[in-house]
C-alpha cells in the first residue's frame, strides 16, 4: 500500500469518525431539546430515582430539579420568573394558588389535565378529588396536581388514658381538656397536651377552629362569635390549668412534636406525616397511641369539618412545553413514586397507594386513618390576602398561648378587626 493510499484511508477514516461524532452529538442535542425544571418544597418529596425512569420513558425530555423550601418558594418564584430561570413546575402551599393565579404566575393547566385523563386513564383514575381541588383556584381552574395533602388529627397516648381511667375516643373539647388536665396532674414530668406557641403558621389551630364549627367566609375566619371565643378559650384553658408546658409560648412545631415523640406529652394535634417519627419511637402496633378526628364543641350542632391542606405541584407561566409538564406530573403521580414519599413523609392523594402492601406495612395506622381522611375538605383561604390572614391568625395563636388570662371575647373582637382590615372589609 502506497503512502498516498494509506493517508487517503486515514483521512477518510478521520472524516467518517468526525461525521459520526458530529451525528452522535447532534442527535444528543436533538434528544435534549425539550426540558423541564421542577422545584420541590422539601427533599423528602423528591422521587428516589430522581427522574431516571422518566428519562428512560421520555429520552427527549431533560429534567432538572431543585429543592426550594415551601416557606420561601413564592419569593423565589417571582425572582426566578424575573431572571428568566423559573421552573416549569413548582411545589407550593395550596393556600397561595389564588394569589399566584391572580398575578399570572401560574398557568391554567385544566386542558392538559383533561389530556392526562385521556392518555393516562389508569393514573388519573387513582387520584382522589383532593388532588385536583388542592390545585385549583376558587373558580375551579386547575393549575397542577396536589399529590400530597395532609390533615391534623387529635393524637394521644392511649396507655396513659387507660391508666387514668379516661375513655376514648374523646370527641369533644371539654373531654380533651379534662383528659389533658388529668394526664398532667398524674405525673410531675408529664405534659397533658403539647402545644405550639410561636414561630410557625397557624396550620394546627385553624383546622380545630373549623372542626369546632367555626366558619371561614370568603377566606376570612369568623372568630368574633361564641365559637371563636370557645376556640380561644380551649387553648387558654390548656395553659391556665397547667395541662400544657409552661414554656409553650416559646415552642415551635419541633418542640411540640418532640414532647409527644419523646414520650413526655400525652396529647397533641398533629398531621399524619409525624406519625412516621412517633412510630419509630413507640411502634403503633403496641397500641400505646391512637388518633381521632379533631374534637367538636360539646353539643355542637354545626357539622364537623375535617380540613386538609395540600402541597400541590403547580405549572408556572414560564412553562412553554405543556406536554412535558403534564408527563412530569403523571410520572410523579405514579403509585410507585407517590408511595415512596407517602411512606417516608406526607400522605398521598393517589388512592392506589392506600392499598399497597408495602405502604400498609410501613404505616400500620393507614387503614385506621383512612375513614377520617376520606372526606377531607380543602382548607378555605382568601384569594388575595391568604398570607396576611395567616400572619394575623399566627399572632392570635401566639397571644392566646402567651396570655391565657386575657379576655377571650376581647381577643376575638380585636383580631376579627385585624382580619377584616387585612381582607379590606
Partner 1 sequence: MRERGGLIDGLHYRLGRSVLIGVPLAILVIWTTIPIVWAVLASFKDPLEIYESNTLLPANPSLDAYKTVLSMRGFDQWLFNSVFVTVVATIVPLAISILAAYGFSRYAFRFRHILLLLYLVPRIIPRVSLIVPLNNLMSDLGLVNTYWVLFITYTASAIPLATWILVGFFGSIPKEIEESATIDGANMWNRLRRVILPIAWPGVVTAGVLCIREAWNEFAFVLALINETDMRTLPYQLYMLKDSMGVQDYAVYNAFTILTVLPLLIVYLLLERRVVDSIVSGAVK
Q: Does 103 bind partner 1 (CB under 8 A)?
A: no
Quick check: 259 binds partner 1 (CB under 8 A)?
Answer: yes
Binding flag, residue 281, partner 1 (CB under 8 A):
yes
Interface stretch with partner 1, choices 9-17, 270-278, 320-328, 391-399 (CB under 8 A) = 270-278
By CB under 8 A, tell whether 264 contacts partner 1.
yes
How are the residues of the chain apportioned to helix, strand and coil, as percentages rounded to the nearest 5?
50, 15, 35
Stretch that binds partner 1, among 82-90, 117-125, 302-310, 378-386 (CB under 8 A): 82-90
- Closest alpha carbon to 306 in 82, 416, 153: 153
**Contact mark string toward partner 1, 56..75, x via CB under 8 A:** ----------xxxxxxx--x
Task: Using CB under 8 A, pick the residue from 262, 283, 298, 303 that binds partner 1.
Answer: 262
Part of the chain binding partner 1 (CB under 8 A), chosen from 252-260, 284-292, 327-335, 395-403 = 252-260
Tell me which long-range contacts 248-251 makes (C-beta under 8 A, separation of at least 24).
248/195, 248/196, 248/197, 248/401, 249/197, 249/198, 249/398, 249/401, 249/402, 250/197, 250/198, 251/194, 251/195, 251/196, 251/197, 251/198
> How near is the Cβ of 54 to partner 1 at its closest, in Å?
19
DSSP for residue 90:
E
> Does 48 engage in binding with partner 1 (CB under 8 A)?
no
Q: How far apart are CA 62 and CA 54, in angstroms?
A: 9
Q: Where do runs of H (alpha helix) occur along 241-385?
A: 253-261, 275-281, 322-333, 335-344, 357-362, 366-373
Distance CA 135, CA 132 (A): 5
Binding to partner 1 by residue 188, rule CB under 8 A? no
CB 102, min distance to partner 1, A: 20
Rounded to whole angstroms, how far apart are CA atoms 119 and 329? Answer: 13
Nearer to partner 1, 116 or 314 (CB): 314
Of 176 and 208, which CB lies nearer to partner 1 in the complex structure? 208
Cβ proximity to partner 1, 261 vs 400, nearer residue: 261
For the chain, the residue count is 425
Residues in contact with partner 1 by CB under 8 A are 42, 44, 66-72, 75-76, 79-80, 82-85, 199-201, 252-255, 257-259, 261-262, 264, 273-274, 277, 281, 345
Amino acid at each position: 500500500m502506497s503512502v498516498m493510499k494509506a493517508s487517503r484511508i486515514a483521512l477518510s477514516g478521520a472524516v467518517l469518525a468526525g461525521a459520526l461524532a458530529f451525528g452522535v452529538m447532534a442527535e444528543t442535542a436533538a434528544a435534549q431539546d425539550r426540558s423541564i425544571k421542577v422545584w420541590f418544597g422539601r427533599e423528602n418529596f423528591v422521587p428516589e430515582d430522581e427522574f431516571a425512569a422518566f428519562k428512560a420513558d421520555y429520552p427527549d425530555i431533560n429534567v432538572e430539579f431543585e429543592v426550594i423550601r415551601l416557606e420561601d418558594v413564592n419569593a423565589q418564584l417571582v425572582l426566578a420568573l424575573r431572571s428568566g430561570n423559573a421552573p416549569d413546575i413548582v411545589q407550593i402551599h395550596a393556600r397561595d394558588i389564588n394569589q399566584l393565579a391572580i398575578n399570572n404566575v401560574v398557568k391554567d393547566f385544566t386542558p392538559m389535565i383533561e389530556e392526562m385523563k385521556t392518555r393516562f386513564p389508569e393514573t388519573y383514575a387513582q387520584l382522589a378529588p383532593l388532588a385536583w381541588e388542592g390545585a385549583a383556584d376558587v373558580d375551579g381552574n386547575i393549575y397542577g396536581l396536589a399529590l400530597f395533602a395532609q390533615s391534623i388529627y387529635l393524637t394521644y397516648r392511649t396507655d396513659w388514658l387507660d391508666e387514668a381511667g379516661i375513655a376514648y375516643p374523646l370527641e369533644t373539647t371539654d373531654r380533651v381538656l379534662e383528659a389533658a388536665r388529668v394526664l398532667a396532674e398524674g405525673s410531675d414530668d408529664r405534659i397533658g397536651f403539647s402545644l405550639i406557641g410561636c414561630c410557625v403558621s397557624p396550620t394546627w389551630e385553624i383546622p380545630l377552629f373549623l372542626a369546632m364549627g367555626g366558619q371561614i367566609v370568603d377566606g376570612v375566619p369568623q372568630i368574633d362569635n361564641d365559637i371563636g371565643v370557645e376556640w380561644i378559650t380551649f387553648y387558654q384553658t390548656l395553659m391556665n390549668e397547667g395541662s400544657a408546658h409552661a414554656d409553650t409560648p416559646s415552642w415551635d412545631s419541633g418542640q411540640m412534636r418532640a414532647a409527644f415523640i419523646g414520650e413526655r406529652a400525652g396529647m397533641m394535634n398533629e398531621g399524619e406525616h409525624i406519625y412516621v417519627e412517633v412510630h419509630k419511637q413507640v411502634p403503633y402496633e403496641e397500641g400505646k397511641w391512637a388518633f381521632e378526628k379533631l374534637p367538636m364543641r360539646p353539643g355542637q350542632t354545626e357539622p364537623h369539618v375535617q380540613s386538609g391542606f395540600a402541597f400541590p405541584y403547580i405549572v408556572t407561566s414560564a412553562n412553554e412545553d405543556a406536554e412535558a409538564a403534564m408527563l412530569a406530573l403523571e410520572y410523579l403521580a405514579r403509585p410507585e413514586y407517590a408511595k415512596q414519599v407517602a411512606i417516608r413523609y406526607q400522605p398521598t392523594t393517589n388512592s392506589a397507594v392506600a392499598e399497597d402492601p408495602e405502604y400498609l406495612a410501613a404505616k400500620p395506622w393507614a387503614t385506621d386513618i383512612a375513614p377520617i381522611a376520606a372526606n377531607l375538605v380543602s382548607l378555605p383561604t382568601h384569594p388575595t390576602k391568604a398570607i396576611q390572614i395567616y400572619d394575623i391568625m399566627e399572632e392570635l395563636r401566639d397571644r392566646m398561648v402567651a396570655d391565657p388570662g386575657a379576655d377571650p371575647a376581647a381577643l376575638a373582637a380585636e383580631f376579627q378587626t385585624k382580619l377584616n382590615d387585612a381582607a379590606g372589609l
